[in-house]
Amino acid sequence: MNTIILIPAYKPEESFVEFSRLLTERGHAVVAVDDGGGEAFRDVFRRVRELGVDVVTHEVNRGKGRALKTGLQHIVDNYPETDFVVTADCDGQHKLEDIERIIDAEKSRPNAIIIGGRFQDKSVKIPFKSRLGNGVTRLLFRVATGLKIHDTQTGLRGLPATLFDKLLKLEGERYEYEMNMLLYMRDWDCDYVEIPIETVYINENAGSHYSPLRDSLRILARIIKFAASSLVCFLLDYVLFILFSRFVFAHGDKNLSTLMGLDGKGFFVTLLGSISLSYILARIISSACNYTLNRRIVFKKGTKHSAVKYFVLSAMIMLVGSLLTGLMIRFLPLPGTICKIIVDSCLYFVNFYFQREWVFRKRKPHGK
């Protein structure tokens, strides 16, 4: 197995030299990317070159994602026999022993992404911004993808050669690149395994260039787009529901029943009256809008199969929502619009789950 350690480095501390020495003394091949730190850091990179590290240089800072892609392209071009790349940070947070554990894990899972997960040792004092940032993104990532990854922000990962082409084309120039890698694992039909690593923080993580506010917005872009798509269509659905229900109420349930060829004043005739018809019409229009946004902006994929599955799901959600809304209006002293909000809030999570797991999930090729 031919493995290379890839280290993106922006304004590295002196500890980077010692870290490089440990790696090269253990016989590991190392490629580092100087991400435009400037003249003040040239001596650090000169010294790691003397240790045997292959250094690629960005003249200006281009971001961690671009540095990883630059390093990966350099490996593909100059080390074509490479089977596996381990990405590690330059600030001393990743121990040599943990890097070698990533390499060992790859032997039994040769085509999987190996993730080094921190924060599992409760005795370690974790800086607040790291604990908060990883906790929020872990929760949202789990909701958005269904994948249980403890440390979504770790820079210690093992990447198999089977993914090199995809990783080079993956969007993201800064910290969002690493999150995009995890978000696309399901699209790539890529296996993964997370192994616990030691949690190390130097000076309360003061050397980190990660900004929780700025970069979390980049990292959560896909999740935010999905939420925005849902919100836009929810508002459209709600407005249409009000307009349709007021128009239908103006005719009265009795006239509506006659118009639809339904006689009598039974429960189901009433239930299939103004509220239910308004719900159905609003849902048909908003569902078409939601599918289009999710296909073109959020997931950026979709076939005739996903369209059929989406509208089958929408029909089921629509029927269940219509029935539950009608039942609530009949038995609870609440306005129809309030009942609809309650029902739709509950069904939102059901709808999201099936879109994620069924509608937009990539179909595996036959025989795989």
- Is 281 inside a domain boundary? yes
17 and 153 assigned to the same domain? yes
Helices then strands, each counted (H, E), the chain: 13, 7
Q: Are residues 306 and 324 in the same domain?
A: yes
User: What tens digit of pLDDT does each residue of 302-352 get?
Assistant: 666 888 888 898 888 888 988 898 888 888 888 887 888 889 888 888 888
Same-domain check for residues 152 and 254: no
Please check whether residues 115 and 235 belong to one and the same domain: no
Q: Could you tell me if residue 366 is inside a domain? A: no
pLDDT band of 125, cuts 50, 70, 90: low
188 CA to centre of own chain? 13
- The reply to whether 53 falls in a domain is yes
Give the pLDDT band (50/70/90) at residue 66: very high
- The β-bridge relationship of strands 54-58 and 29-35 is parallel
What is the pLDDT averaged over residues 41-65?
A: 95
Residue 354, pLDDT score: 85
- The Cα 5–Cα 107 span in angstroms is 16
Q: Which tokens sit at 189?
A: 């039909």
Domain extent, residue 116, equals 3-219
In a domain, 368, yes or no: no
In this structure, are 133 and 233 located in the same domain?
no
Q: Are residues 124 and 199 in the same domain?
A: yes
Average pLDDT, the chain: 81
Q: For position 105, what pLDDT does the model report?
A: 93
3-class state of residue 116 by DSSP: strand
Q: Does 320 share its domain with 197? A: no
- Please enumerate in sequence order all residues whose Cβ is within 8 A of that of 169, keeping only pairs 6 or more positions apart, or say none: none
Residue 367 in domain: no
* Residue that finishes a domain, picked among 175, 197, 219: 219
The lowest-confidence range among 77-81, 129-133, 139-143, 189-193 is: 129-133
Three-class secondary structure of residue 32 per DSSP: strand
Tokens, residue 36: 């435009």
Return the CATH number at 163.
3.90.550.10
Q: Under DSSP, is residue 194 helix (H, G, I), strand (E, B) or coil?
A: strand
Position 256 confidence tier, pLDDT thresholds 50, 70, 90: very low
pLDDT of residue 245: 74
Whether the CB-CB separation of 77 and 154 falls below 8 Å is answered with: no
The predicted pLDDT at position 191 comes to 92
* Residue 365 forms part of a structural domain: no
What's the total number of domains in the chain?
2
Distance from C-alpha of 326 to C-alpha of 96, rounded to nearest angstrom? 62
Asked whether residue 83 falls in the same domain as residue 118, the answer is: yes
Is the pLDDT confidence value at 269 over 70? no
The answer to whether residues 107 and 241 belong to one domain is no
Assigned token pair, 363 = 């179909």
Q: Cα 245–226–298 angle (5° rounding)?
A: 115
Residue 242 has a pLDDT of 84
Mean per-residue pLDDT, 160-172:
95
Locate 115 and state its tokens.
């993730």
Contact 10, 61 (CB under 8 A): yes
Same domain, 215 and 228: no
Which of 175, 196, 219 is the last residue in one of the domains? 219
Phi–psi pair at 346, nearest 5 degrees = -70, -45
**Is 364 a domain residue?**
no
- In this structure, the answer to whether residues 183 and 268 fall within a common structural domain is no
Look at 233 and 366; give whichever has higher pLDDT.
233
- DSSP code of residue 115: E
Same domain, 141 and 289: no
Max mean pLDDT range (103-107, 187-191, 278-282, 292-296): 103-107
85 neighbors 167 (Cβ within 8 angstroms): no
Mean pLDDT confidence for 9-22 = 93
Contact 310, 355 (CB under 8 A): yes
Q: Which of 219, 249, 277 is the last residue of a domain?
A: 219
| 274 found inside a domain | yes
